Amino acid sequence: MDRLGDWIIMLAAAGIMVWWVLRRFDRWLHEPPGSRLRKLAASGGVEQDDDNVQLLQDSGFEVLSGKHKIPLGVTLDDSAVMPTRLYFDYLAFKDDKYYLVKLERLRQQMEWTASGLREKLLVYALLFPDCEGIVIVPAQERKLKIVRFKVEAGE
């Protein structure tokens, strides 16, 4: 009789696990676009007296959160996972659209060519496809630039 009781307990546990996995998958499948960005917006604080925040607000952006770091793991062949991070400065909102904000640093200036922008910023567009674009705050001038990526039809 103990064996029958063990099987019943195992089948019940397996049923609960299958139900939980299916429920999580269904929730993920029906998750509205931008929910990942809304979670990010709630996670970081913003210093209102920062000059860059003021510039964004003067340009019509609502700065939702700031100073984000995204942990990534990289493996090369069969080696161990090497940790790294990807940073962006702010998450902003304007005209019902989300924008990632990167501050240009004097040490790491942008190369304002298509290939230079692709090398530096495409990873952000791929990680956050719900964003309308990436706002760049140049180090020298106080004028915002918005970068958008568009996949063009191949030949």
Nearest to 145 by CA among 86, 100, 91: 100
Mean pLDDT by 10 residues, the chain (155 residues): 80 94 83 60 68 84 82 88 88 88 84 89 86 86 87 71
Q: Which two tokens stand for residue 49?
A: 């007296």
User: What 3 state SS string does 26-84 have?
Assistant: HHHHCCCCCHHHHHHHCCCCCCCCCHHHHHHHHCCCEEEEEEEEEEEEECCCCCCCEEE
pLDDT at 87: 85
pLDDT at 20: 93
Task: Judge whether 60 and 74 are in contact, CB under 8 Å.
Answer: no
As beta bridge partners, residue 73 has 83
- Percent helix, strand and coil across the chain, each to the nearest 5: 35, 25, 35
pLDDT tens profile 23-66: 988 887 776 655 566 666 556 666 777 788 888 888 888 888 87
Domain residue ranges of the chain, discontinuous segments joined by +: 1-30, 35-147
Contacts with 84 (C-beta within 8 Å, 6 or more apart), sequence order: 71, 72, 73, 74
Nearest to 138 by CA among 118, 107, 109: 109
pLDDT at 92: 87
pLDDT at 155: 61
pLDDT at 35: 59
